[in-house]
Chain A
Amino acid sequence: MGKYIAKRLLASLAVMAIVSFMAFAALELIPGNAALIAAGTEGSASSVASIASGLGLDRGFMERVLIYYKGLLSFDFGVSSYFGESVSTLIRQRIGVTFSLAFLSVLLAFFVSVTLGSAAALGRGRFLDAFSRSVVQVFSSIPSFWLSLLFLILFSSVLHWVNVGDYVPPSVSLKGYLSSIIIPVAVLAIGETGPLLRLVRASMIRARNEDWYRIGKVRGISRIRLVMAYALRYALPGPLTLAGSELAKLLGGTAIVESVFALPGLGRLFLTAVEMRDIPLVEGIVIFVSFLVVLMNLATDLILFISNPSMRKAGGIRL
C-alpha cells in the first residue's frame, strides 16, 4: 500500500514537472518577449533592456528555468507586469471566488446526477430514463456563455433577483455572497451535469446487472437498501473520480462565467493576463492550476484506493 502511494506521488511530481516546464517553454516562444510587452510601445531600447534584466531575461534559458523552479518551491511565481504585484498575491486574492464556484457547482451537479441517474437506472419507469437521457444531451450541448446570458436576462432584468457585478465576499454577508454566486454556480452545474449524469446512469446499470445484485435481492435485502447501500457504493468510484477531475478543471475553467457575471476570480484574472499579454501572470496561473489539477487527481485516486478493499490488500493497481 505504501509502495502504491509512493509510486503515485512520484508520478504526480513528474507530471507537475512536465507541465510546468511545458508552460514555461511555450511562453518563451512568444514573439516579442515579456520585456518588450512590459515596456509597451513607448519603451526605449534601454528601458527594454533594464526590464529584461529585471525579469532575468538576459540569462540563458536553462538558467532561467532553474531560477523559476527555485521560486516555485517558495510559492514565488514572479511579479505581474500589468498589475505590478506579485503573482502569488494576485492568485491568493482571487482563488476563493473561483473555488467557491467550482466546488459548489460540482457538488450540485454531483447531487443531481446521483439522484436522477440512480432513479433512472433502477426505477421501473421508462419515462425517467428517457428524461435523464434528454437532460444529458441538452445539458452537454448548451454553450455555458449563452446560458449565462439567458440566466442574466431572466434573473437580473426580468425577475430582478440578483444584481450583476455586486460580488459580496462571505466574510461580509453570507446571504449576499450566496445570492451573488448562485446563478453562476447553476450555470456551471448544468454544464457538469451532462457527463456526470451519463456516467452515474451507466455505472448504476452495470451494478444492477451484477450477480450480487440479483442474489442480494433473493437473500431478502430490500430494493431501497440494495440501491442505497450496495449499488451506489459499487457505482460511485467512477463518478467520484470524474467529479474530482471536473472540479480540478473548473478551477481553471470558470473564465467565461466569471467574465459574464463580473466575479473577481482566477478565470477573469487569467483573461486579463492574456489580454494584456502579462507573461509572468499567465505562466503563474497556468502552473498553479496545473498543480491543483494534479494534486486533486492524486487525492481522488488515493481516496478510491483506500476505499477499495481489493486494491488496498493487493497493493495497488498497475500504474
Chain B
Amino acid sequence: MAELLSFRSLCAEDERHTILAGLSLHVDAGETVALVGESGCGKTMSMSALLGILPDDVEVTGGSIFFDGEDVLAYDGKKRRDRLYRRVGFVPQNTSDSLYPLTTVSKVMTDAYVHNHPGIGRKAAVERAAALLSSLGIEDAGRVLSLYPFQLSGGMKQRVNIAAALMDDIKLLVADEPTSALDIHIRRQIEALYASLAGRDRLSMFIISHDLGFVRSVADRVYVMYAGRIIEEGMCDEIFSAPVHPYTQSLIELESMNARDSNQDLPELVSSFSIPDRKSLSCAFLSRCSCRRDSCSCPVEYSRISETHFVRCVL
C-alpha cells in the first residue's frame, strides 16, 4: 500500500526537555493507525508538529514529516494551507473551545471552505455541511447549523468538529483523544462513528488516544509511544493479544482491569512516573520496568517479531 504519512526520526525539544526523541511511524493510504501512550509521552506534540501548531517554545530539532510525498516541515504558510490543511482534517481534543464562539455552526463549518474554493458559494457550502452532519447521524442538521457553539451538547460538538474536518475532500483525518471527557453513552456513539469512518475507502485516520478500548475497536495498526519514541508497533490483534514490551503489557492489563473492576490493585505502572533521559539509547522504561535484567542497560535495538510487529526491548 502507498505510504501517505510518515514521521522520520522526528526530534523536538523545548527550553528544558526533549519532547520527541527520534519518532518514526507511518500511515498508509486507507489505513487507520492509532498512537497510544500515557499523557506527557509526546503524542500530542507529534500531531502538533505535523499540523504546524507547536507551542511557541517547542522547536523541531531534527528529522522530517512526509505527507503525500512532500516534506511538511519545509512548507511556508501558504503552501501548508494549500497542500496540507486542505487534505488533512483535524479533530482536536477539546471540542468545546475549538469552535469559534461568536458565529453560528454554519459559519464555523463553511468559512474556510468558501474562502479556499472561490467557485463555490456560501449556499452550496452550507448544503454540503448539512449533508455531512446528516451522514454523521444528526437528524435536524438545519437546526444545528443555525445554533451557536455554546448551545450544543458535548456529543454534538464532537460531531460538528468531525464534520468540519471533513468539509474538504481530505485524505487523512487526525483525531486527538476523541473519547476523552465524554460520558459512556456518547462515547459508544462516537466510537461507532469513528468505526464507520475507518471503513471509508479513501480515508486514512491517525488517532491519538490513551483509551485502549476505543483503539481496539477502530484501529488497524497500533503504535505504542513512550518518552518521545515508539517502543512497539503492530497490527491491532498482535498488540492486544500478544504484547511484547512490558510497558505495552501493563497498559493492556490496566485497560482490561479497568473494564472488569476498577477497585483492584493496579499494577506497578501507575505507582511511579519519572521522566527519563530521552536522549540515551538504553531503554527509557527501565526504571519502571518489572522485568528488567542486566542486559537492559545496553543500547536497545528496534527488533522485528513478525512482518508487522516490532518492539524496542531486549527481551
A interface, CB within 8 angstroms of B: 210-212, 214-223, 225, 230, 233-234, 308-310, 313
- List residues of chain A with CB within 8 A of the CB of B113: 220
A222 to B90: give the CA distance in the assembly, Å: 16
- List residues of chain A with CB within 8 A of the CB of B182: none
Min CB distance B127 to A, Å, is: 19
Which single member of A215, A222, A225, A230 contacts B92 (CB below 8 Å)? A215
Of residues 51 through 110 on chain B, the ones whose CB sits less than 8 Å from some CB of chain A are 51-53, 77, 81, 85-86, 88, 90, 92, 94, 97-104
Greatest chain B CB density within 10 A among A220, A221, A223, A313 is at A220
- Ordered by A's residue number, 8 sampled pairs between the chains whose C-beta atoms are within 8 Å are A212-B100, A215-B90, A216-B100, A217-B85, A219-B165, A220-B86, A221-B111, A309-B102
CB of B164 within 8 A of chain A?
Answer: yes
A215 to B164: give the CA distance in the assembly, Å: 10
Q: Is the CB of A309 within 8 A of B112?
A: no
Q: Is the CB of A218 within 8 A of B102?
A: no
Total interface residues on B, CB under 8 Å, equals 31
B interface, CB within 8 angstroms of A: 51-53, 77, 81, 85-86, 88, 90, 92, 94, 97-104, 111-113, 115-116, 148, 150-151, 164-165, 167-168
- List residues of chain A with CB within 8 A of the CB of B97: 210-212
Main secondary structure of the interface of A (DSSP, over half): helix
Min CB distance A42 to B, Å, is: 66
- List residues of chain B with CB within 8 A of the CB of A219: 85, 90, 112, 164-165, 167
Complex A-B, nearest 6 residue pairs according to Cβ-Cβ distance, in ascending order: A211-B97, A220-B85, A219-B112, A215-B98, A220-B112, A211-B98
Q: Is the CB of B53 within 8 A of A220?
A: no
- List residues of chain B with CB within 8 A of the CB of A223: 77
A297 to B51: give the CA distance in the assembly, Å: 43
A211 to B94: give the CA distance in the assembly, Å: 8
- List residues of chain B with CB within 8 A of the CB of A230: 100
A215 to B167: give the CA distance in the assembly, Å: 14
A215 to B85: give the CA distance in the assembly, Å: 10
Q: Is the CB of B98 within 8 A of A217?
A: no
A256 to B203: give the CA distance in the assembly, Å: 69
A307 to B113: give the CA distance in the assembly, Å: 25
A123 to B150: give the CA distance in the assembly, Å: 30
- List residues of chain A with CB within 8 A of the CB of B51: 218
Min CB distance B281 to A, Å, is: 34
